[in-house]
Structure 1
């Protein structure tokens, strides 16, 4: 049982709230202790020009980007590159587009479902339409640097404090008016600028990384995506059914053949992906034992986050099979189950080396020199459709190991292979630097708040 003491003036200033979860909140206790010790604070409202959500309206989606703009939800805003998963929302039927569109250096906070996720909008994401479940925070840079504010909002302390604002049972929520009351610590001007600079540099690295990765993926999409037409009919015979693992589902036998045909008829040499795979496996599926310190552990959806290292879940190092969950640099991971995330591909970089990842990520081990090239193909729009063509199951959709081996890998000329490999390697290194810079900024804030806990 956890016990705490709460001062009467704290209860009075908190609208007489007596909920234990409210007063025993990790972030709230840290901030209230610092305020009690007379360290300087402001509020989110005081350091911003506005804190608001977009209006509620009926969303109409279209297929052609000529008639719409990219649209992201609160869930998708945390992706490494939200444009990879963005839907296209109609320009004609979307009201208040100026208010709904995201601006460079704006800070986003998820306010429904999963509460308190934070994202800084870089220039490459400007103009995207954000859902009504995202609070927009427009910093007033004359009062506080936007990078510093973002780093604080992304910290463990602020995240936990925001949880104390949640209301609702079916769909948890927070409101902009409530979030505006969030206390903001006022570190020295020198510290604020230092932290801000880390975030600015990290954001720049992230934008460059996305641009390089997009260039690599487009090498494949330019060749194959345009040729991907509507599903057509194919006749199957018993011999082919044996080759296709005795599957009779139309989505597999039609869709997979269509995508195979696009590669075969392109005139570009190809090989079965299985010829490049040294090992493909699913790790231990046993019971998970969570602890405060141990092996950092990510879900497959966590891998899509632009900063997976900030997720604080840990497994006991004494747990059976724990080492099978570790991933290594240059491993290719494929989300083998789930819904939207199914078929997403990840290349493990330096920052994720030796971290644990759950069993829903299929491990694909290939030679280090070809891993970036294979990753670029599988993570392209065409590549993900190719992976998803092998889905089976009803309640839990799945992609299995045998199917991955049957995919055809285009063997581009050496010049393009080297170019794609170089782009992916540089992009991965920039992502690592972006994560490192952001973590340094957040760590500086947390350490300063640690110092403010002394009575």
Structure 2
């Protein structure tokens, strides 16, 4: 339970508004501080392109999905506007987009979730340009002749901006926000140099995230080309097919999807690539948190904790912290830099079997029981090469996902992962791929640092401009 005392004058000033949300979250304090600034202020609608038309609610749409990228647009949901890797997102039919051009988003647009978890922001990266996007995400298009889009994003992402967004409507539960709810938010204006510098950090951050993704794609492509692997084995894993398997194989696993045509095809490709040793034989190890009692505490006394869904976000910012005193040896639960974090459960076609490269941001963090930590730092194979094979090629993904067991919520086991055979390239080629993955991780970490710096510059400038009491 949260208890907070507020002056009665706040309730009077807010038109006797009695819903607790804005008072509890700090939205009212943020509003009054913005009002008190001695600097000039423009409303959001005054700095968007074509006024209110620059705050776009795309409207309801019918979803028709396609499997061929030539006949569709990659489709961003409220979840995956925040994820780092966009390679496996769904495609919506081109015919749907043709009738609603507002569905497409452009580079440097500001994206704000308007339903569900309201007020989460993303800056449209270069690799998101011309993607279709759900109507549950509002688009804010800055007029660059009036304001730097990066600066506007940094302000709206700051404590002062976010609080105004989520306090935009009345009611204990805010189900949606509309353009009218954010158009009058005051945007403080500072020197052109300051706003430009902040904007450069945000845009550079977005470019680095796009560059990181491009390097990961390149790493997978090089492996595919070397072994003549197809980019895609099939449109889906669990489809209605028939296949035959030897009785010796069926004695080990009897679930049909372990022996289906796609799984068998991936086996043939791996065999033809000359794979001989399993991951275990190469010295690769795995780590699992195991079932444990989760005791959460304040960040000063805890270890950052993330779930299997949260590890995929472009921003690594854990909201919960486990009590370190209850965890035991860090080797048992801690993530090391260059670990491969594998989502071990979920629906096939979702996050299960996909993973994340643990860059410097993840060091000594904790992950949920639904994440397998694959450790190759002391093995015969470079971690970056292993990551690129498992996570950036469809052959590696199919080898992983075929072993998922369970009909309701399938899951992967560490033992099955370590039994996979790894095709090998030459030492120099594997090193080059490892370095691509390393560089991608460094770019992702730097991107978040730049974004954090930009937001802090905005908040510091606002605090400095506020009257001193």
Question: SS of the residue aligned with 1:136?
Answer: strand
Native 8 Å contact 1:325 1:358 kept in 2: no
Distance in structure 2 (CA, Å) of the matches to 1:183 and 1:277: 57
Distance in structure 2 (CA, Å) of the matches to 1:162 and 1:425: 37
Native 8 Å contact 1:391 1:397 kept in 2: yes
Q: CA deviation at 1:35?
A: 2.1
Deviation string for 1:174-201 (max 9, x for gaps)? 2222122333233443322221121122
Native 8 Å contact 2:296 2:320 kept in 1: no
Native 8 Å contact 1:47 1:140 kept in 2: yes
Q: CA deviation at 1:110?
A: 1.3
Is 1:379 aligned to 2:380, yes or no? no
Is 1:419 aligned to 2:424, yes or no? no
Deviation string for 1:44-68 (max 9, x for gaps)? 2222121112121211111111111
Deviation string for 1:351-381 (max 9, x for gaps)? 2222232222101111366100011111125
Q: Which shifted more, 59-68 or 163-172?
A: 163-172
Is 1:241 aligned to 2:245, yes or no? no
- Give aligned pairs, total: 448
Q: CA deviation at 1:77?
A: 1.0
Is 1:52 aligned to 2:56, yes or no? yes
Distance in structure 2 (CA, Å) of the matches to 1:450 and 1:258: 61
Is 1:22 aligned to 2:26, yes or no? no
Native 8 Å contact 2:339 2:374 kept in 1: yes
Distance in structure 1 (CA, Å) of the matches to 2:445 and 2:123: 17
Structure 2 spans left out of the alignment, 5+ residues: none
Q: Where do 1:396-435 residues align within 5 Å?
A: 396-435=409-448
Q: Which shifted more, 440-449 or 396-405?
A: 440-449
| Distance verdict in 2 for CA 1:196–1:126, change over 3 Å | same
Question: SS of the residue aligned with 1:410?
Answer: coil
Q: CA deviation at 1:426?
A: 1.8
Which residue in the other structure is 1:335 paired with? 343
Is 1:304 aligned to 2:312, yes or no? yes
Is 1:362 aligned to 2:372, yes or no? yes
Question: SS of the residue aligned with 2:257?
Answer: helix
Distance in structure 2 (CA, Å) of the matches to 1:313 and 1:156: 19
| Distance verdict in 2 for CA 1:398–1:127, change over 3 Å | same
Which residue in the other structure is 2:116 paired with? 113
Question: SS of the residue aligned with 1:124?
Answer: helix
The alignment's TM-score, normalised by the length of structure 2, stands at 0.86
Native 8 Å contact 1:4 1:24 kept in 2: no
Q: Where do 1:36-435 residues align within 5 Å?
A: 36=36, 38=38, 40-49=40-49, 50-82=54-86, 84-165=87-168, 172-222=175-225, 223-226=228-231, 228-229=233-234, 233-242=242-251, 244=252, 247-254=253-260, 255-264=262-271, 266-284=272-290, 285-293=292-300, 294-309=302-317, 311-321=318-328, 323=330, 324-339=332-347, 340-367=350-377, 370-382=382-394, 383-435=396-448
Native 8 Å contact 1:335 1:343 kept in 2: yes
Distance in structure 1 (CA, Å) of the matches to 2:326 and 2:269: 46
Q: CA deviation at 1:259?
A: 1.9
Q: CA deviation at 1:42?
A: 3.1
Pairing partner for 2:460 from 411, 433, 447: 447
Q: CA deviation at 1:13?
A: 6.0
Q: CA deviation at 1:445?
A: 2.2
Q: Which shifted more, 135-144 or 18-27?
A: 18-27
Q: Which shifted more, 319-328 or 434-443?
A: 319-328
Distance in structure 1 (CA, Å) of the matches to 2:329 and 2:55: 43
Distance in structure 1 (CA, Å) of the matches to 2:173 and 2:256: 38
Distance in structure 2 (CA, Å) of the matches to 1:258 and 1:96: 40
| Distance verdict in 2 for CA 1:173–1:381, change over 3 Å | farther
| Distance verdict in 2 for CA 1:325–1:184, change over 3 Å | farther
Q: Which shifted more, 370-379 or 390-399?
A: 390-399
Structure 1 spans left out of the alignment, 5+ residues: none
